[in-house]
Structures are given as structure tokens and as C-alpha cells.
Amino acid sequence: MVAVELYRVMKQIDEFEKRLASLPEQAPERERIRAGLAEACALRDQIKKMIEGAKGD
């Protein structure tokens, strides 16, 4: 279950990165996409830590 969530978040990060790359620097939605990307990256890191913690048990 956790691995599925990790995969979903990683796909979401890829989409955010692609959208950022395709937008011009002055596009107003870049800030919103950056915020979403930062949130998704934080969630990815949290899930990875959960998986690592479970491996240690």
C-alpha cells in the first residue's frame, strides 16, 4: 500500500516538473506549481522514511 502511494507521488512530481519546464519564466501559475512540487517532494520523502523505518524493524 505504501509503495503504491510512493509511486503515485513520484508520478505527480514528474508531472509538476514537466509542467514547470514547459512554462515561460514569467507565467503566473509557476508559483502554484512550485508549491505543489515542494509539497509532493516532502510527501515523497516522508513515505520513503516510513519505508526505511519499516525495513529496520
pLDDT tens, N- to C-terminus, the chain (57 residues):
889 999 999 999 999 999 999 999 999 999 999 999 999 999 999 999 999 988 876
**Dihedral pair phi/psi, residue 26, rounded to 5°:** -90, 5
Task: Quote the pTM value.
Answer: 0.87
The predicted pLDDT at position 57 comes to 63
The predicted pLDDT at position 1 comes to 85
Q: How far is it, in rounded angstroms, from Cα 1 to Cα 8?
A: 11
Q: How far is it, in rounded angstroms, from Cα 8 to Cα 23?
A: 23
